[in-house]
Structure 1
């Protein structure tokens, strides 16, 4: 039975999106499927930025280690960058511009500026190795990179001097040594206006974001401007509905929402529900360069933070921090999480021990972050669920291998249909056809079921992915690194449950006859091939060949169950 909160949310969203309202919902045909859309949606991110930056211009937008910038400051810098990209580097509509850096205010300016120009922005994972960066740059056909010092060095190690790079917060010596152009110098040397402003339409490509699949190389999910806009607007409607309910309950609301930004902007959570929504609602972002629970508690007190979102690991570390009670956390209302499941026990502890309302979201890069959400009392009542489909434009169905929609309680693949879905994978028609069969539904690769109230429960993964602290890791990629050691005959990689990270990487290996090898030596052998978060945390070496299925393939399911039990014991 739906809760009173469910019913109140549904009523508020229905009123907000009714015919004749600013957020009215109608339908449109997108790539052969009829789906709900916002009737008055901006046609592209350029119009989205023009409107919302103008509305919020005077408000403080970013805080980073004492540096403070308004919305107007960031937007002016973004448009100036767009002009510089056009004037000095010849970047045109459809060209790929990559961002490779940690969270800085310049990341936001680069993202906004690239989209404003009509370029396809490619946010690269800041933890990637030089080899991974080389793949992303080559596969995407990137023409220019905007990078901080650490990424600049990795890029030059990977692809050499030919790719133009604009360096951010990089020493002058490193900028010169690696043949880059300093951010400030590029802006100073170029006019502030573009000489030609290309028309951008709803179906023009906007972003190319890489996401680890079950195969070794990550896939590049290509979002259109329409999809980005609709992903952001759907979050905005959800927020407006909760705001109305809070006002109706007599809750005193802060003058400005303030978010502690600790999720990477290169993740879909950071770029859409955090960044794009913040631009629309005038929300301040307090940027943390590196996660530290103690520093997070300090920032909540000093900046009067109202909202926190991160992977479940982060809220757990705040909850367990020995100095938690020394800080005034009274302004903090919601502690949200995404990117990985949150154990049910943690949900109740956050409410009981911190007095804060927890929330969880389920979305993917391929859906621009939208999917399902579970909040407040509903989350406490159903802590194992990721919530209902996010209204008004998201549909969720459970489908079998023949694409039949399954009834409540039956397990199958979780599929999502929304105008926020990306159009497919860059230069990968086979993967596109498999995940987007042409009927509007995206096949997530997750296994789950819907209960009688349409609450979604994720129970397994169809694709061979490990989610460590919100980072997707392809088991096949780790296996390839282990097989790189000449002593290994067989191996299998799988996720192991972990209270802090959600999952960690586990592996089991069978060696060639006559070989002897210490597990730690084998783990160390993978470090040159893998980003640090992908390196196995636990590895077992066995004396017998690994179990096989009738097809001759390694029985990964049995191994995963066996070694998860060993790990727990």
Structure 2
């Protein structure tokens, strides 16, 4: 028996799909099949980042220790760095660029720059040791790898094929931490290549729990549509809450402590945040008491993690 909430969700989805609404659907052909896609979704991930960064320009986006950046500031930095990749490093559409690092604001801005430059953001598992990192880099034939000092050290002496390792820093402003991408030229004025919706844009790795971990690629349309599906879900609940005066005045804010190389952090958390104007508060290493401090200080409205994290908070003596 459907509940009142079930009926409200169904009615809201139907309303948002009708009359060329924000969740209206059209079909595209892929692999010989007709597949439904959201009609009004941006055509590629670069357009998605550009549009929603402008829409939410003045809102705070990334909080990483003492560093606080708006959507506009993050986009401006990424746009300059994308120019550096294209002009200075001669990045070609479809070139794989690995990221091997812990979570940070500069991890996110590096990801944005790679995508905007037409590269394939290859999200290497930051928990891998040197041999595992090298295998992943070689497997997908990375042209460049952006690594923090800790992961670069793990790769010392490892066979990474033809990949060039570019070391970047955390805990500093993006154009300082990622300055290596501007070392050979390029800027925000550098022309970026056109992007087709079917161009590859990301590679994420399978868990390897039953065999060798594999790199799984996605194209721009797939990632953008997946992201907009999450946005559509959020939109439905926002509409329902608005009808009952249940919407908070707080800016949505997430405590980010799941790894950005995993799809959970990469799509529903990171990419969805651009569209809903959500602030991301970095927490590179889990600690229940620090998590509670940040939840209170930053007025966190959303948190995702493994069940043990929630249990540790619920049972903490200083709760």
Say whether the fold is shared (TM-score over 0.5): yes
2:274 aligns with 279
Q: Of the candidates 232, 237, 241, which is equivalent to residue 237 of structure 1?
A: 232
Higher relative contact order (CA 8 A, sep 6+): 2
Q: Which sections of structure 2, spanning at least 5 residues, go unmatched?
A: none
2:7 aligns with 7
Which secondary structure state, in structure 2, belongs to the residue aligned with residue 166 of structure 1? Answer: strand
Which secondary structure state, in structure 1, belongs to the residue aligned with residue 11 of structure 2? Answer: helix
> Structure 1 residues 186 and 111 mapped into 2: Cα distance closer, same or farther (>3 Å)?
closer
2: distance between equivalents of 1:252 and 1:2?
Answer: 24
Q: TM-score, normalised by structure 2?
A: 0.93
**Can you list the C-alpha shifts for 1:128-160, whole angstroms capped at 9, x where unaligned?**
011110110000100101111111111223237
Offset at 1:189?
A: 5.6
- Assess if the C-alpha contact under 8 Å between 1:166 and 1:182 holds in 2: no
2: distance between equivalents of 1:167 and 1:223?
Answer: 26
2: distance between equivalents of 1:156 and 1:126?
Answer: 15
Q: Aligned residue pairs: how many? A: 315
**Can you list the C-alpha shifts for 1:445-467, whole angstroms capped at 9, x where unaligned?**
xxxxxxxxxxxxxxxxxxxxxxx
Which secondary structure state, in structure 2, belongs to the residue aligned with residue 271 of structure 1? Answer: helix
1:24 aligns with 24
Q: Which sections of structure 1, spanning at least 5 residues, go unmatched?
A: 172-180, 325-569
Offset at 1:224?
A: 0.7
Which secondary structure state, in structure 1, belongs to the residue aligned with residue 163 of structure 2? Answer: coil
Q: Is 1:258 matched up with 2:253?
A: yes
**Structure holding more strand per residue:** 1
Offset at 1:95?
A: 0.3
Bigger shift: 19-28 or 60-69?
A: 19-28
Q: Of the candidates 202, 205, 208, which is equivalent to residue 200 of structure 2?
A: 205
1:124 aligns with 124
2: distance between equivalents of 1:271 and 1:170?
Answer: 18
Q: CA RMSD in A?
A: 2.0
Say which one has the larger Rg.
Answer: 1
- Assess if the C-alpha contact under 8 Å between 1:149 and 1:170 holds in 2: no
Offset at 1:11?
A: 1.2
2:133 aligns with 133
Which secondary structure state, in structure 2, belongs to the residue aligned with residue 159 of structure 1? Answer: coil
Q: Is 1:66 matched up with 2:66?
A: yes
Give the alignment of 1:34-183 within 5 angstroms.
Answer: 34-159=34-159, 163-169=163-169, 183=178
1: distance between equivalents of 2:152 and 2:138?
Answer: 16
**Structure holding more helix per residue:** 2
Which secondary structure state, in structure 2, belongs to the residue aligned with residue 2 of structure 1? Answer: coil
1:288 aligns with 283
1: distance between equivalents of 2:160 and 2:92?
Answer: 23
**Can you list the C-alpha shifts for 1:452-511, whole angstroms capped at 9, x where unaligned?**
xxxxxxxxxxxxxxxxxxxxxxxxxxxxxxxxxxxxxxxxxxxxxxxxxxxxxxxxxxxx
